[in-house]
Structure 1
């Protein structure tokens, strides 16, 4: 346990700029833009339901509806940070095992009493657990700052929503929903993380081209074979279930591509609020065999990365 903790600290120390400061910078930029807009823009022109905020104090059902909407969607202000997570994890995994061979630090790390399994596992855990938790924390903090700024802006114009917002259960449930989606993210991201780590452990150069080009070229060849040679292959199935899974799995919410109909059903027919519909639809994707087959494939590819790291030398 102490060894794994030390390995995670080492990985975080080496990649702090990518995995910590980048999402913080994105969040800071969003805060700066929004606050600048609130301070410098003509807030007297802000209207809700046709009412000018500068001249009308919002009351009644409109006031309640605004408060409910704010507490349901404030986490969504951190969507750019969450989207950045996919890119950060993608490129981290892509370079995780290749860079240590390229700069020959592999020789130093192999001289330490740490197994290849523990080293590769620490990189996978950083990509699947630590980096998402950091991003989730920044997203929640950003959402709270944006919610506070919005409420203060409305307060300046005579509408105090702090009571309704603080008494709403969604204010406290929204962060818990986001954290509760972490197991779903881990399972859907496993194939991509496993694929990227395996390629990173095998490729001697042009890691990005090997990781992205291989599935894309295979998909194009299958499309050509299906159209030109009339082969009985389903290229669209391969693109949807294989290429997408090993390239886009680290993008938060990628599983909703497979469960979008569930969101619509829960939101429209069952009258669930959108955050609840997304949460339920996300977990319902685990009922199918595809996610578990992909997760198993990801574990196999991580094991292959361990094997290749044991055999590979510097490039």
Structure 2
């Protein structure tokens, strides 16, 4: 119980110290999206007044446009989340050495493992959840505004828009994929926090530079010995170590499997997009995910041990 209470206060500390990246960045993006959306909705007034909406308005096309609107918002919030998680995780342990606050926190009866765990929870859970919640609220506000603007002119869109399978299917896909994302992104977040624990300066640069340098060395060795392992090395060092924090990046696991059967990436991508449900929890039955989880936990444990010996 004492550990849980300590963890709760550590999480509050992380939220307070990083509220600009965690909260305000999402609110600013949401405000910009709403500003452009509402300005576009107000321009629809002239169209609704000068036409017969019941006969000329393409309702199905409008419902599809609403689905695409949610997809666009999801992409924007995902991009923001990737950059904020990258900035937060790479500076999570190095910043406390830079401002010397590590001396204060290490003077308290708080274990290094618990400190690292709080940062993992913030990076893997709170950042994505904040983005999802803000996206849902932004989309609902925009849809209500759209329906209200047409309702004023006698066009009822609410039943059509809110009964559309597209937007609710995407929301369900996003929520269902969240546990997959947490497990899949663990090795990337673990690598970022590990680098932050031992690199003295510019950990964000080294997080990217080290895997790329190792890949280049492996590519040269691949050509020298004539063994085709460059693709597997690229997958481990680049996609799993750096890009696993990108939502739906686990689709590349399926692409590689299909590529092994078809020897054509376009055919593999087409097959995956048509037949694979990326929100399915079947990915939990693959060694790829669990090896990443084990490697990620190992790196986080190593980061805690390194922090224990650092006082600079």
Contact 1:226/1:233 (8 A) holds in 2:
yes
Q: Pick closer, same or farther for the CA change 1:269–1:253 going to 2, 3 Å.
A: closer
**CA displacement at 1:128 relative to structure 2:** 0.8
- Counterpart Cα distance in 1 of 2:308 and 2:253: 36
Contact 1:27/1:142 (8 A) holds in 2:
yes
**CA displacement at 1:268 relative to structure 2:** 4.3
Q: Deviations over 1:200-250 (max 9, x none)?
A: 0011122122211100011112222323x2442522221123321111111
- The residue that corresponds to 1:215 in the other structure is 211
- Counterpart Cα distance in 1 of 2:124 and 2:248: 14
- The residue that corresponds to 2:5 in the other structure is 2
Q: Deviations over 1:61-109 (max 9, x none)?
A: 953x346536645532422012210111111000000110111100000
Q: Deviations over 1:10-53 (max 9, x none)?
A: 000000001110111111111112222333x57656xxxxxx99
- Counterpart Cα distance in 2 of 1:90 and 1:269: 32
- Counterpart Cα distance in 2 of 1:311 and 1:265: 50
Q: Deviations over 1:253-285 (max 9, x none)?
A: 222333467985586469xxxxxx4534xx333
Of residues 286, 293, 301, the one that matches 1:295 is 293
Aligned to 2:82, what secondary structure does the other structure show?
Answer: helix
- Counterpart Cα distance in 2 of 1:96 and 1:34: 35
Q: Number of aligned pairs?
A: 297
- The residue that corresponds to 1:252 in the other structure is 247
Aligned-residue Cα RMSD (Å) equals 2.8
Of residues 86, 90, 93, the one that matches 2:86 is 90
Gaps of 5+ in 1: 46-51, 271-276
Contact 2:222/2:230 (8 A) holds in 1:
yes
Normalised to the residue count of structure 2, the TM-score between the two structures is 0.84
Normalised to the residue count of structure 1, the TM-score between the two structures is 0.83
Contact 2:212/2:237 (8 A) holds in 1:
no
- The residue that corresponds to 2:264 in the other structure is none
Contact 2:70/2:167 (8 A) holds in 1:
no
**CA displacement at 1:3 relative to structure 2:** 0.9
1:180 and 2:183 matched? no
Q: Pick closer, same or farther for the CA change 1:89–1:104 going to 2, 3 Å.
A: same
Q: Pick closer, same or farther for the CA change 1:97–1:76 going to 2, 3 Å.
A: same
**CA displacement at 1:294 relative to structure 2:** 0.8
- Counterpart Cα distance in 1 of 2:282 and 2:162: 30
- The residue that corresponds to 1:274 in the other structure is none
- Counterpart Cα distance in 1 of 2:273 and 2:55: 27
Q: Pick closer, same or farther for the CA change 1:43–1:71 going to 2, 3 Å.
A: closer
Of residues 277, 282, 285, the one that matches 1:284 is 282
Q: Pick closer, same or farther for the CA change 1:268–1:232 going to 2, 3 Å.
A: closer
* Larger deviation, residues 239-248 vs 145-154: 145-154
Contact 1:67/1:161 (8 A) holds in 2:
no
Of residues 55, 67, 71, the one that matches 1:76 is 71
Aligned to 1:160, what secondary structure does the other structure show?
Answer: coil
Q: Pick closer, same or farther for the CA change 1:75–1:225 going to 2, 3 Å.
A: same
Of residues 217, 222, 229, the one that matches 1:234 is 229
Q: Pick closer, same or farther for the CA change 1:101–1:154 going to 2, 3 Å.
A: same
- The residue that corresponds to 1:27 in the other structure is 30
Of residues 17, 20, 38, the one that matches 1:14 is 17
Aligned to 1:152, what secondary structure does the other structure show?
Answer: helix
